[in-house]
């Protein structure tokens, strides 16, 4: 376990474990973005998660969705990335709004990246229920024939070994069962670094988002179709 993750846990405990990630009046960049009026001919990606995806405390241009769109476009792909992150979302809340989110898009997305579970973990909710909710989200995406990927969340060590043993395998297990992509721990390399975090010690600042995006964008690019309706990368 990385020492940075341990520091993240300590800071989380000191910085309102639940309050900072609970439903609230939206901070800058946290409101769910509406679907773009027009989508480029290239792939449409939706980042569907909580405050880590929503861009909590950041300007609208600094969050994960716009940073990912910029990174993918720099590679020459006309990708559109929709921010469907909502601060405070648990997996249950995400499941409840999934259909509404998908129905509000201008067309079926080429990839939905699901990043939920942090608030379940911080509240000590049942890992079994987290697993069931994430499974239901993935089932609905599969029913709609939408390609999906997961970003990993890890249990805080202060929740105990039993909780971690039940929570941490959720993401690789779901990915293996469904033959889908799972990306590494979203805050890897950023957690525990004050120069990459907001003053709350929990959420990435603009540079932290850029670091996360630089790490994930090449993996995500490999999961996008080569052209509209084309085969996804390996």
Among candidate residues 4, 55, 8, the one with its CA nearest the CA of residue 158: 8
Q: How many Cα atoms occupy the beta-carbon half-sphere of 61 within 13 Å? A: 1
Cα–Cα distance between 104 and 106 in angstroms, integer? 7
Is 195 a residue of the active site?
no
Q: Are 149 and 181 in contact (CB under 8 A)?
A: yes
Active-site annotation holder among 22, 173, 188, 200: 200
Residue of 50, 120, 203, 211 with catalytic role: 203
Examine the residue annotation and report whether 200 is marked as an active-site residue of this protein: yes
Q: Are 104 and 34 in contact (CB under 8 A)?
A: yes
Give the residue among 166, 23, 186 at the shortest CA–CA distance from 113.
186
Does the active-site annotation cover 34? Answer: no
Of the candidates 50, 51, 110, 120, the residue annotated as catalytic is 51
Write out the catalytic residue numbers. 51, 200, 203
């Amino acid at each position: 376990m990385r020492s940075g993750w341990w520091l993240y846990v300590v800071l989380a405990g000191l910085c309102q474990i639940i309050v900072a990630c609970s439903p609230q009046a939206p901070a800058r960049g946290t409101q769910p973005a509406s679907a773009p009026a027009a989508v480029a001919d290239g792939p449409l990606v939706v980042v569907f998660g909580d405050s880590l995806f929503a861009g909590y405390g950041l300007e609208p241009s600094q969050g994960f969705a716009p940073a990912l769109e910029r990174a993918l476009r720099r590679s020459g792909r006309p990708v559109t990335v929709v921010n469907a992150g909502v601060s405070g979302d648990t997996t249950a809340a995400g499941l409840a709004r999934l259909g509404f989110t998908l129905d509000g898009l201008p067309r079926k997305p080429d990839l939905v990246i699901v990043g939920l579970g942090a608030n379940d973990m911080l509240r000590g909710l049942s890992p079994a229920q987290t697993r069931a909710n994430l499974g239901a989200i993935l089932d609905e995406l599969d029913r709609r024939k939408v390609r999906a990927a997961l970003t990993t969340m890890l249990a805080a060590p202060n929740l105990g070994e039993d909780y971690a043993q039940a929570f941490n395998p959720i993401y690789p297990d779901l990915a293996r069962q469904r033959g889908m992509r799972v990306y590494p721990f979203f805050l890897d390399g950023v957690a525990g670094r004050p120069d990459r975090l907001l003053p709350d010690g929990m959420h990435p600042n603009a540079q932290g988002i850029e670091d996360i995006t630089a790490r994930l964008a090449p993996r995500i690019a490999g999961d996008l179709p080569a052209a509209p309706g084309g085969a996804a990368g390996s």
